[in-house]
């Protein structure tokens, strides 16, 4: 799945958007990891798959800018594991939970949204504090891609995700929504 997303350009969309928005700030490379992993979490509920797809770019980037290998791996692993609680896809357990306790999947998505946002904000803030403590800066602004140009170039890749969300919130089953989206 990760190889498919990479070939389709979805990984480039996520990393270019993250690089363009926060890559130039203090601790930018680690913040890119948090944001790109959070975005990847919206379409993939597997932490391991998230690490494999986004980590191949973000871990070397963090190491290049002075982060220790252990910290770079820790940031990527922490950020990627958040994908299991990041709506709309989340981990498989959310689908099983919806079926087992007979609660609409959209209710579970709504319940997970605030904790997921808080999780990623906390990871983002801790990376910011660590970068300040160690004096780690981001990339030069002119080295960062334009985030909106990345979206404009690859907007069509977001259509399945948008379709999935619309169908889920319209009351369709997760199976139908996932098949169509």
pLDDT at 15: 94
| Residue ranges making up the domain that contains 62 | 2-180
Q: Is it the case that residue 93 has pLDDT exceeding 80?
A: yes
Dihedrals phi, psi of 24, to nearest 5 degrees: -90, -5
pLDDT above 90: residue 180: no
Average pLDDT of the chain is 92
Looking at the structure of the chain, the number of domains it has is 1
Instruction: Tell me the C-alpha to C-alpha distance, in Å, between residue 10 and each of 84, 93, 164.
Output: 19, 24, 16
146 pLDDT higher than 90:
yes
- Whole-angstrom distance, CA of residue 55 vs CA of residue 49: 9
Mean per-residue pLDDT, 115-132: 96
pLDDT in tens, 9-68: 899 999 999 999 999 999 999 999 999 999 998 888 888 999 999 999 999 999 999 999
Q: 167-176, pLDDT tens digit by residue?
A: 988 988 888 8
**Interval 71-99 mean pLDDT:** 90
Write down the pLDDT at residue 3: 78
Query: 97-130 burial by CB neighbour count: b if 16+ within 10 A, else e?
Result: ebeeeeeebbebbeebeeebeebbeebbeebbee
Give pLDDT, residue 179. 83
């Amino acid at each position: 799945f990760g190889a498919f997303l990479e070939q389709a350009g979805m990984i480039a969309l996520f990393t270019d958007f993250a690089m363009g928005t926060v890559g130039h700030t203090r601790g930018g490379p680690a913040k890119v990891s948090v944001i790109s992993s959070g975005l990847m979490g919206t379409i993939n509920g597997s932490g391991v798959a998230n690490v494999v797809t986004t980590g191949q770019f973000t871990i070397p980037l963090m190491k290049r800018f002075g982060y220790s290998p252990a910290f770079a791996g820790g940031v990527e692993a922490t950020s990627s594991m958040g994908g299991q609680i990041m709506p709309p896809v989340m981990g498989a357990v959310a689908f099983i939970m919806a079926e087992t306790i007979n609660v609409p999947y959209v209710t579970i998505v709504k319940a997970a949204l605030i904790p997921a946002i808080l999780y990623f904000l906390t990871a983002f803030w801790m990376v910011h504090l660590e970068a300040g403590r160690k004096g780690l800066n981001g990339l030069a602004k002119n080295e960062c891609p334009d985030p909106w140009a990345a979206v404009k170039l690859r907007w069509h890749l977001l259509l399945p995700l948008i379709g999935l969300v619309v169908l889920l919130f319209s009351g369709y089953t997760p199976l139908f929504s996932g098949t169509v989206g």
